[in-house]
Amino acid sequence: MYYEIKQDEKFKFIEEGEGEPLILLHGLFGALSNFMELIKYFRNHYKVVVPMLPLFDLDLLHTSVGGLEKFVHKFIEQRNYRQLHLLGNSLGGHVALLHVLRHPERIKSIILTGSSGLFENGMGDTYPKRGDYEYIKKKTQLTFHDPRIASKELVDEVYEIVNNRLKALKIISLAKSAIRNNLGEELNQIKQPTLLIWGNNDSITPPFVGREFHRLIPNSELHFIDKCGHAPMMEVPNEFNEILHKFLTKLNEPAAVA
């Protein structure tokens, strides 16, 4: 299913459905396609918004977690979204966390899945040789419990990025920025209800990372999904959507009267 990409000044994004905004932020090698099943399901209940993050469009100085957060902040202000639910996968979760720490006023809840910000395994100790397709294929497959989820199209996308010298430099810059930008000492400041959805077989941000987020974020709940890697919304979309829908529904229920 294809969705119309809209434009508002410099911002390109998908916006489907009506209701409270549910904003989705993808990861370092992510794309709009990561969220197709999520958009299809939640556009019937919320205004689902996916901004196209400028991973390769910022100058090198601003190619960082902080640079992406500033972009997201300007996008939310430009579109005047309020009472929004901010969901991020991997690097997108890191950007979401930084945003809610800097600008909590419009955020109703946060949803993190395989988020960086505490600890993450990168592409490895050394960057792959350009042109090494099999290496890229294996690394892409490690994102998932089931390597078959790493379709040829997905591997081709990652391969194209790492073989473009400037894009590869920006990926390295973002990855290093994520490692430097550890949020462990700030997470206790988050007041918003927070949902953590983690794959039990995540090798990039392993299960202990989810537990540590749960320990450090005061108003958080943690769900693990078996036979699932770093991108639950792609690998097990039905289970992911069910957990998320219950969480969002509970937020909108009137508080029980004693």
Angle at 197 between CA 192 and CA 201, to 5 degrees: 150
**Which pLDDT score is estimated for 253?**
82
Of the listed ranges 10-14, 82-86, 111-115, 126-130, the least confidently predicted one is: 126-130
What strands lie across the sheet with 6-8, from one edge to the other? 6-8, 11-16, 47-51, 21-25, 84-89, 107-113, 194-199, 220-225
pLDDT of 1 over the 70 cut: no
pLDDT value of residue 145: 95
- Which carries the bigger pLDDT value, residue 209 or residue 3? 209
C-alpha 45/C-alpha 1 separation (Å) is 18
Does 222 score more than 90 pLDDT? yes
Q: What confidence category does residue 258 fall into, taking pLDDT thresholds of 50, 70 and 90? A: very low
The amino acid sitting at 234 is: M
Nearest to 48 by CA among 56, 60, 61, 36: 36
Average pLDDT over residues 34-42: 95
Whether 20 has a pLDDT exceeding 90, the answer reads yes
Q: pLDDT-based confidence at 19, cuts 50/70/90?
A: very high
- Name the β-bridge partners of 110: 86, 194
Q: How many residues make up the chain in this entry? A: 258
CA atoms within 13 A on the CB side of 37: 14
Out of 43-52, 56-65, 226-235, least confident range: 56-65
For the stretch 114-173, pLDDT in tens is 999 998 876 444 455 566 899 889 888 999 999 999 999 999 988 898 899 899 889 889
pLDDT-derived band at 256 (thresholds 50, 70, 90) equals very low
Q: What is the pTM of this model?
A: 0.93
Average pLDDT over residues 182-208: 96
Predicted local distance difference test score (pLDDT) of residue 131: 67
Contacts from 234-238 at CB under 8 Å and sequence distance 24+? 234/34, 234/37, 234/144, 234/149, 235/144, 235/145, 235/146, 235/149, 235/199, 236/199, 237/37, 237/38, 237/41, 238/37
pLDDT of residue 126: 46
pLDDT, position 129? 57
Q: Which domains does the chain have, with CATH numbers?
A: 6-248 (3.40.50.1820)
What is residue 120's predicted lDDT score, i.e. its pLDDT? 81
pLDDT score for 28: 86
Q: In percent, how much of the chain has pLDDT > 90?
A: 73
Check: CB of residue 107 under 8 Å from CB of residue 72: no
Q: Which of 25, 27, 24, 23 is nearest to 178 (CA)?
A: 27
Please report, for residues 14, 33, 91, 156, 159, the alpha-carbon distance to residue 153 in angstroms, rounded to integers and kept in the order given.
21, 11, 21, 5, 10
The residue to which tokens 């289970």 are assigned: 239
Alpha-carbon torsion (252, 210, 24, 3), positive or negative: negative
Long-range CB pairs of 163-169, under 8 A, 24+ apart, other chains included? 163/130, 163/131, 165/130, 166/56, 167/56, 168/127, 168/130, 169/60
Sign of CA dihedral 141, 154, 204, 223: negative
Query: How confident is the model at residue 255, as a pLDDT?
Result: 58
131 CB neighbour count, 10 Å cutoff: 10
